[in-house]
Amino acid sequence: MSVDLSYAGVLAAVVVFAVPVASARGAAAPAWEFHAMDTAFQRAPLTAAEQFDLVKELGYAGVAWHQQPAAQLRGVLDELRKRQLRMAAIYCAAKVTPEGGISWSDDLPALFEVLADHKTIIWLHIGGRGPAFANLSADTPAVAELRKLADKAAQAGLKIAIYPHVGEWTARFADAVTLAEAVNHPAFGVSFNLCHALAMGEEKNIPDLLQRASPRLFIVTINGADSGVTGGNWARLIQTLDKGTYDVSLVLKKLAEIGFAGPVAFQGYGIKGDARSILAPTMQAWKDLVSRMSR
Does residue 2 register a pLDDT over 60? no
Asked if residue 2 belongs to a domain, the reply is: no
> How would residue 36 be classed by pLDDT, with cut points 50, 70 and 90?
confident
pTM reported for the whole predicted model: 0.90
pLDDT of the residue at 295: 72
Asked if residue 8 belongs to a domain, the reply is: no
> How would residue 18 be classed by pLDDT, with cut points 50, 70 and 90?
low
Rounded Cα distance, 213 and 208, in Å? 9
Rounded Cα distance, 118 and 111, in Å? 11
Domain total of the chain = 1
8 A C-beta contact, residue 209 and residue 197: yes
Asked if residue 167 belongs to a domain, the reply is: yes
Instruction: Respond yes or no on whether the N-terminal peptide bond of residue 30 is cis (omega within 30° of 0).
Output: no
Does residue 284 register a pLDDT over 50? yes
Asked if residue 175 belongs to a domain, the reply is: yes
- The per-residue pLDDT for range 257-272, each reduced to its tens digit, is 999 999 998 999 999 9
Structural domain for 75, as ranges = 13-293
Q: Domain of 149: which CATH number?
A: 3.20.20.150
pLDDT of the residue at 63: 79
The residue type found at 9 is G
User: Which residues share a beta bridge with 266?
Assistant: 36, 222
CA 97-100-101 angle, 5° bins: 70
Report the number of secondary-structure helices (H) and strands (E) in the chain: 10, 10
- The per-residue pLDDT for range 165-176, each reduced to its tens digit, is 999 999 999 999
Asked if residue 87 belongs to a domain, the reply is: yes
Length of the chain: 295
Q: Are strands 86-96 and 60-66 parallel, antiparallel or unpaired?
A: parallel
> How would residue 20 be classed by pLDDT, with cut points 50, 70 and 90?
low
Maximum CA pair distance of the chain?
52
Asked if residue 4 belongs to a domain, the reply is: no
pLDDT of the residue at 146: 98
- The per-residue pLDDT for range 197-222, each reduced to its tens digit, is 999 999 999 999 999 999 999 999 99
Asked if residue 5 belongs to a domain, the reply is: no
Lowest mean pLDDT across 55-64, 94-103, 213-222: 55-64
Going 100 to 104 to 110 to 112, the CA torsion angle's sign is negative
pLDDT of the residue at 273: 95
pLDDT of the residue at 87: 87
Closest by Cα among 46, 90, 22, 20 to 294: 22
User: Residue 142: enclosing H or E segment and its boundaries?
Assistant: helix 141-155
Asked if residue 1 belongs to a domain, the reply is: no
Does residue 235 register a pLDDT over 50? yes
